[in-house]
A and B are shown apart, each in its own frame.
Chain A
């Protein structure tokens, strides 16, 4: 609680949040009506404004409203628009304990019926300044200002009220411009036919994109369809080292697959958590706890 280096760019002050469940909160209550209110982001406003300004010849008309509100999400956001989201999901990666076994990657690929190269959570082997190797798992960062969303021409990318960026694969036309926009290489394309999957408990939908759809983009979804039933994402559940934590900024707790439960804000502050590529202004919701002199901004990936 004494020091929260990440707090400045997190609009919802985690710990204080439960005391003030409604009214005056910047994020959830900013704009009641459109479900995509939390998606209003600086980058999109800038792009939208600049392009609209440049396109004087085109009669914008009714589109102006759309510009102001951002593009409509492809599907209705799960939570009711007028009620602030109950959760704001985040992930913590404790780099100190990762042994590079890649069981998280395998678990994810098994659960989502992905091909081996669709490493939605990838584990990079990095080298620190002292020349030592360490392992860096990288899921989707669930950016608060995701660059991948505003570039999609058909609004197939959207961010839910609970802070999860999803792809509507029934709308994606496969331009791959979101793969270009994501600074974390977190997006994967279905270059061929997807791995066949048996009948799933949920229909194919953005929060449970199984099976994948040929010619569309897929990415880590934080196992969004599992979260409401109290399950942690597959990678979190299967990590034998307890490296990965699923966190909720609303209730300020995080749990890992070994059953450890921590108070999120304290855990991050005490361990000097950092975010990857913070300078890009994406406000990732994935926190890294560096252990042994790691510096994500300067360490090398070893091929």
Chain B
């Protein structure tokens, strides 16, 4: 960091310094390896290896070792598939939806959100492999003569592949303008990784400054992809839900499923973005750019989808339970009061009620509160996916519909967790942070060009400079006496002690829940 500081021209203009600060903060994970980086990578890598071992065992002995049987033919891998592809939706929301709605506050979050999507989506797709009984023939899915276009699974495959491509493009396009900055930062650095980075940047086509027309072209493309990525995201989970719904099983045959799946995916996706952004903020000291206010805003988005999901769940169970037809009543009973009541009500409390309460209570509506809610949501929605997948798969079909509405007789199947699916699920969970840690050793963690370009940034900057001129320079550790906005100079690398500022302090004045008051404008992160 110090050599960057030294490279700053000495008659310091505050604007230049703030810009310099943004650039160093964005490049910090690339330029400096944190102390914990290797230990973290080793631990996460070990968990991934354990998962691979478990998969090898499953490959040798068959899916039976994962606890499956003929009356629980779909279980944890299918839930994982839905859950992991679901959490990748956060990138689409934060980057595409917020971009299209011109919510400029999203800017510091976009790179992290897009990276999360880029990483979780392939991990989710990989669950197809343990899901399949004969993964050695997976190539058949890509072999047109075998295609059966009436199969939902084939369309899952098409939809997810397309979406993966779009996600990669969506990650790449905003990156182009950052590459020259990154390349400049890395210039002259020794070492293999620096060389790899430079090669990568060159390969990605961003070795030198992006010209203005090219910049406009990129901007236009980003807008286009942002529009395209939304229907793609919707299609992925809709088609995924068809695989379940194209059956006569009570609990799977639901017209609500596509919407239900999409909303759940958006919900869990935003929750995961909250978690990754919080982790990145803490681990890479981005407190000067990502404020508690961002979390509160994400929290509002989160509960909007949480409430929608709760509503859909309510609708589904109410109507199915009310209908009293055939196996539906048995299935509803099994979920709400039968064998699956614990996971069902866990979802209801952890991802249904608690996030709503957190965002409703002013005192709980802090960064910590939102992060807690997000953690609960990610976990509880995984459990909810198990509740969606397993009970209908275990329901006996050769038995009386009438009897089912009375007593629960018949031969319900059971699914038992074994170490194999648990290890594979943990491995996938560990793979996400692992891949993110590796990814951010190569690309800037903040969208430098985007943040610098946003008009509001300039305005804020001018204002910040003005305020800085009026305010006595705060002592580095004097958090209590700090002005509410970090002045441009306070963001200079030397004063990154903002990390020591108590969370909840830096971003907003007390009572400001996200700067949504009229006349406040939507700045990307410089609080007023």
Contacts and interface: CB of A to CB of B under 8 A. Distances in A.
A154 B146 CA distance: 5
Contacts, number: 188
Interface string B107-143: 0000000000000000000000001111101101101
Contacts of A72: 145
Contacts of B133: 172-176, 189-190, 214-217
B147 A66 contact: yes
Nearest to A62: B144
Interface in A181-224: 181, 183-185, 187-193, 213-217
B4 interface: no
B247 A301 contact: no
The interface centre, meaning the residue of B73, B150, B401 with most chain A CB atoms within 10 A of its CB, is B150
A173 B152 contact: no
B19 interface: no
A259 to B, nearest CB: 30
A191 B398 contact: no
A299 interface: yes
Contacts of A155: 146-148
B453 interface: no
A297 interface: yes
A135 to B, nearest CB: 12
B246 A151 contact: yes
A182 B62 CA distance: 22
Contact of A185 (B62, B149, B397): B397
Contacts of A8: none
Contact of B132 (A67, A171, A173, A193): A173
A180 interface: yes
A190 B68 CA distance: 10
B157 interface: yes
B151 A150 contact: yes
A174 B158 CA distance: 18
B246 A181 contact: yes
A300 B149 contact: no
Contact of B134 (A124, A152, A174): A174
Nearest to A119: B70
Interface stretch (A45-53, A97-105, A227-235, A265-273): A45-53
A226 interface: no
B154 interface: yes
A286 to B, nearest CB: 12
Contact of A173 (B63, B140, B144, B155): B140
A176 B151 CA distance: 12
A83 interface: no
B61 interface: yes
A128 to B, nearest CB: 10
Interface residues of A, number: 63
Given A55-B155, A151-B246, A301 B409 contact: yes
B248 interface: yes
B149 A63 contact: yes
Contact of B398 (A44, A54, A151, A185): A185
B74 interface: yes
B69 interface: yes
Interface in B369-417: 393, 396-403, 409-411
A191 B153 contact: no
B151 A192 contact: no
A302 interface: yes
Contacts of A185: 70-71, 396-398
A118 B251 CA distance: 25
Contacts of B143: 154
Q: Which of B65, B151, B162, B399 has the most CB of A within 10 A?
A: B151
Interface in B35-84: 61-65, 68-71, 73-74
Contact of B248 (A118, A181, A217, A300): A181
A91 interface: no
A172 B63 CA distance: 14
Contact of A176 (B73, B137, B398): B73
Contact of A189 (B63, B144, B155): B63
A188 to B, nearest CB: 5
A189 B138 CA distance: 17
Q: Which of B134, B141, B147 has the most CB of A within 10 A?
A: B134
A292 to B, nearest CB: 16
Given A154-B141, A173-B137, A180 B244 contact: yes
16 contacts: A47-B152, A117-B70, A151-B151, A151-B153, A154-B140, A172-B133, A172-B137, A175-B133, A179-B73, A181-B248, A191-B70, A214-B62, A298-B402, A301-B398, A301-B399, A303-B411
Given A124-B399, A174-B134, 11 more contacts: A48-B150, A136-B398, A152-B148, A154-B148, A180-B252, A185-B71, A191-B63, A214-B62, A214-B134, A301-B399, A301-B400
